[in-house]
Structure 1
């Protein structure tokens, strides 16, 4: 299993960056996990739009799903012979607004929407996907992807929760939201996570490595990494475009 970071900014993309978007590959199958602002140009550096096999979206905030629109446009309008409809997995209603950006019916043949309830599990290509509802302002599904004896857990956006620990239990890697380094502002503590929180949860879950993502553009990556080491002693990386994590 290979994870390639396309973008990792929280809320809005910093100059030259992109928001949440991750390409997860196994046996030639390409699963795009989240597709936030500016991720499609990064994706196209790795593969054509018509070579994406499926998309999983954690929740409906635009920094996690806005670039679904240009992805579908590229598949629908950019080839003389459009590929088969793209399977897109999301919580019910999460993608209503982004799918309504174009005139009615324009992109209907470009995708097949599979809405799920958090807590469900199913197969996406070679991956077994397990989901959990995690606390956020809008319904957010964390996902655990297993294939070939390896496991990758991804939180989407979430406040600290025992559910994160259960989702990531024994995973080879945890891709964890860490909007802030040490402390989350009081009005967001139920809905967002600090790097220090992510480190504690990674230690409790016994994960093999921790990848911090969704840092706000003004959050210092070095400070975030240092905060996570307060509780977690394993390998820690800060997600940035081009980062590759192999789970052989």
Structure 2
């Protein structure tokens, strides 16, 4: 299994930092994990979008799904697709309201909102807690604790597992999902909550504590806000987690 970071900024892009987006390759399949602002261009450097076997969207905040529109345009407008995209639709695992929410970006006017549809080229699979398959790869889904419907993913193949927290505060559901995983890709927006609303994000220290409790092999911190103290977040996580810990960087790859 290989994880490639396409983007890792939280809430808004930063200089040279697209928001959330990752490419997971395992068992001969390629999965786009999130498609946030600015992610589609680096995706194309690592993978022909027509070669994707699935898309996983943890939730529908724009820093996690804005560039889904670019993927749809690419599949619809490319003059020479390698296959009939209306026959070989791309599976998109996302919250149940994704078909209407994501279609809204393509409506020509307010009057067209009710009739705009993306299912000519993608096949939406509504997420719920449970297990799914993308070819030989298993995807376990658990509900996380965020300000909207949001999920975490455990992607497993060949005896190794990658866990992505999505956006969440620390919770037992994440600890269970991440138990014994080889790598935890964890939301780590800031150093401290500092009076912010509940159910937003973890701090670096909280991500480290989750990683330690779950007994993961490696911790990678992502979704750091552009104005946050990256070095401080890394230091806090390292004080809480005894294993290898790193900040996600665009273009970084992790072999599992």
Scaled to the shorter chain, the TM-score interval is over 0.9
In structure 1, the partner of 2:95 is 91
1:193 counterpart (168, 192, 202): 202
Distance in 2 between the 1:225 and 1:77 partners? 42
Deviations along 1:107-135, one digit per CA (max 9) or x if unpaired, are: 43110111121x12111122111111111
Shift of 1:105: 4.7
TM value normalised by structure 1: 0.94
In structure 2, the partner of 1:147 is 157
Deviations along 1:136-161, one digit per CA (max 9) or x if unpaired, are: 00011111111100011111000111
For residue 109 of structure 1, give the secondary structure of its aligned residue in structure 2: coil
Structure 2 unmatched runs, 5+: 108-114
Tell me the matched-pair count: 245
Runs of 4+ aligned residues of structure 1 deviating over 4 Å after TM superposition are none
Shift of 1:80: 2.5
Distance in 2 between the 1:220 and 1:242 partners? 21
RMSD of aligned Cα (Å): 1.4
Deviations along 1:143-197, one digit per CA (max 9) or x if unpaired, are: 111110001111100011111111100000000000002x113233432110100
Structure 1 unmatched runs, 5+: none
In structure 2, the partner of 1:29 is 29
Report the more deviating stretch, 34-43 or 219-228: 219-228
| Conserved 8 A contact 1:12-1:63 | yes
For residue 191 of structure 1, give the secondary structure of its aligned residue in structure 2: coil
For residue 9 of structure 1, give the secondary structure of its aligned residue in structure 2: coil
Deviations along 1:221-247, one digit per CA (max 9) or x if unpaired, are: 211110001110100111111010110
In structure 1, the partner of 2:19 is 19
Deviations along 1:78-127, one digit per CA (max 9) or x if unpaired, are: 1334432111001211453222211355643110111121x121111221
Shift of 1:204: 0.3
| Conserved 8 A contact 1:40-1:67 | yes
| Conserved 8 A contact 2:99-2:124 | no
Shift of 1:51: 1.2
